[in-house]
Structure 1
């Protein structure tokens, strides 16, 4: 029922409403309900009524509520409506902007928006993401000492910041990384701090376009993989070389997921897990299965926890919180990358072999072996579609062992032969 307390301007509507919090409550508080693009926010009025009192209050001409009604109407007309009209007219309406105008928000500038989002990410144990935003905020604070007001974040501001980063000798990849983080914070989790003509990001000359670095993705041949496998490591680097091989034979699994694997993830001769990277991003969870073929089994037996409990690899033992775990995984990743650089030099392979090379190599090699693309996508966790739906009547488990076993050297003699052959081949760049 429409009342004299209702208001609407484009996508913003205001209604005075009685909101029952718990079933059976006789008295319920009254709020201003503001709706914007199907999202609701409730603002206290300080009033509370029973059902009968609420019905009486809404009736026109009821004198005993006249003072309350006058107070509410004055606040709606003189405070709320002008703020909404201004924000809507400037294409800048958001609940955060409204709260700021009403004095109900602590977020008044870009620095505070960064800080608030970083805090939420830490609370959700999304430490890597939080750390990436921290590094961007630190850079912004060096660029401009005073807090950055939202109105200052214009195309010109972003171009000047980009020039500053170039002078700081930051790579194009790093610049793009910082700019994407700024865009994420400006977007405000669905409630942008800047909208319409004030929103600075986009394509074309009137908006700021985030630069993209040239990503050089390196794939090794199968012979080169076997060459690395046959490399005689010193004891100090053997673990990290073996983790790299574990990643390759394990569907290109990254170091974050390797370090988080537990013995309880081994089921029916396979490792099964959900990627840490996608757990908080997808509504439909995609489970990955890795056949425990010979190299994976040997590496787990050699370097795994001897009591075969908890984490397969011991790196995260004693790490009681997510921040500690993330930092330890970063240390392990660095050791793997440093080790592979040393091995590449010894084997006269080009620079650029890192932990990511395993994933790209896994994909490229299986494609060249004519393995169905849908199988490769399933192995990486890119799709939940069944392999058998399109390609085979064989059990999916049998397919996984069949296709991943194509990566294995057949004999020791083959490995030795590859030591010679691989030296004559170049890495494949895509």
Structure 2
């Protein structure tokens, strides 16, 4: 064993009541470090000898017997948790020891662990995604399976359970895409529990010959060149619509720049005729950080001049503030995106354009229209900051049929 665990009386400092604290001593043989964990139990030396050290003492009665059983249970559990690790690690040991024994296979517990980890790493959007999934599962578990989410164990989520959940969601009018998102998120939680040895892989309900998460082909939403011209030249009814149109086309003109990245754009990112930034969505997902360079045009300069802060310091646009914490930033950016979407839809409706248009369309409109102008897949991939060319292929797939029709109609144009 690479560790040594024992119950000790810490006689280094006597308490005012004349007692010493009983502690769990853990020694890591490889690191040659030891830690003492307080058990919130105080005894004097005679009591400790009688209750714990005298293993042959079988005459213990009442509270003394209960205390010995309690200490034995603590030592046994500590050995079990340490023994479950291939390599002993203090942080993992503490994580497992200082929780209820039932937490190891509790779905709610592992969801909340993931949520707190996301918050700690400032991944507020991902934390929200875990929350939405947990709420959906809680509703199904309680109302259909008659089990509160606090008592739901991993072992109860079988292939049949997942199929019933999927049908329940469909009956509620939820899309396959939503169900896929929720089940993929649940799969992450299963993987997390298996990774920390809280769950055996035999209880994993996903994969070959098990529950298969539905895959839907993403439909790339993009405006045609004619629709883009109509939107760009559309008259607006008020300043809100003017701002929405300006930011939508700013995103389009900046290689489909995400609204979060626009909100976090700083004047310090600018240099002469361009600005550069790292895409927030993918920054933590890749070891190699790709800097995106955007060259300024008359249009983007005009948007910055009209809607940017005038002091040329800090954030370019008045969307978030320097002293905002991550949670506040997240809420402000979410509200800003909703504001743009609400008003761009009003403009679209007034001009007979697709009424489901959103900021999401600006990115795909940039990609699709770049393809129409003859841009290569490699150019689009770099402009969109895709991690792999396979991701970019999705844009070309949506364009392929249209290109074929156009080619068929012009093949006889000599």
Q: TM-score, normalised by structure 2?
A: 0.68
- What's the secondary structure of 2:268's corresponding residue? helix
Is it true that 1:202 corresponds to 2:207 in the alignment?
yes
Cross-structure match for 2:311: 307
Cross-structure match for 2:218: 215
Give the distance between the partners of 1:191 and 1:370, measured in 2 at CA.
49
Give the distance between the partners of 1:82 and 1:297, measured in 2 at CA.
64
**Superposed displacement of residue 274, structure 1:** 0.5
C-alpha offsets along residues 146-174 of structure 1, whole Å, 9 cap, x if unaligned?
A: 22112112212222222222233222211
CA contact (8 A) 1:243 1:336 kept: yes
C-alpha offsets along residues 225-262 of structure 1, whole Å, 9 cap, x if unaligned?
A: 22211111122211111110001000001111111111
Is it true that 1:134 corresponds to 2:139 in the alignment?
no
Gaps of 5+ in 1: 1-5, 7-14, 19-28, 35-39, 47-66, 68-73, 89-93, 386-424, 426-430
Give the distance between the partners of 1:214 and 1:289, measured in 2 at CA.
30
Give the distance between the partners of 2:242 and 2:385, measured in 1 at CA.
29
**Superposed displacement of residue 181, structure 1:** 1.2
Total equivalences in the alignment:
323
Cross-structure match for 2:231: 228
C-alpha offsets along residues 108-165 of structure 1, whole Å, 9 cap, x if unaligned?
A: 3010111111111111111111111111112222222422112112212222222222
The aligned runs of 1:200-349 (5 Å cut-off) are 200-204=205-209, 207-234=210-237, 235-317=239-321, 320-349=324-353
Cross-structure match for 2:117: 120
**Superposed displacement of residue 83, structure 1:** 8.2
Give the distance between the partners of 2:77 and 2:306, measured in 1 at CA.
70
Give the distance between the partners of 1:236 and 1:101, measured in 2 at CA.
50
CA contact (8 A) 2:78 2:97 kept: no
Give the distance between the partners of 2:250 and 2:191, measured in 1 at CA.
39
Give the distance between the partners of 2:301 and 2:322, measured in 1 at CA.
25
Give the distance between the partners of 2:180 and 2:221, measured in 1 at CA.
21
Select the structure with the greater relative contact order (CA < 8 A; seq sep ≥ 6): 1
Of 161, 164, 168, the match for 2:168? 164
CA contact (8 A) 1:255 1:355 kept: yes
Is it true that 1:179 corresponds to 2:152 in the alignment?
no
CA contact (8 A) 1:262 1:309 kept: yes
Give the distance between the partners of 1:318 and 1:288, measured in 2 at CA.
22
Give the distance between the partners of 2:96 and 2:332, measured in 1 at CA.
44
Give the distance between the partners of 2:96 and 2:330, measured in 1 at CA.
39
Cross-structure match for 2:27: 31
C-alpha offsets along residues 183-226 of structure 1, whole Å, 9 cap, x if unaligned?
A: 1111118436444331111133xx11112345321222233222
CA contact (8 A) 1:241 1:340 kept: yes
Give the distance between the partners of 2:26 and 2:189, measured in 1 at CA.
33
**Superposed displacement of residue 365, structure 1:** 1.4
CA contact (8 A) 1:378 1:384 kept: no
Cα–Cα, structure 1 residues 16 and 82, in superposed 2: closer, same or farther, change >3 Å?
A: closer
Give the distance between the partners of 1:312 and 1:255, measured in 2 at CA.
13
Cα–Cα, structure 1 residues 192 and 368, in superposed 2: closer, same or farther, change >3 Å?
A: farther
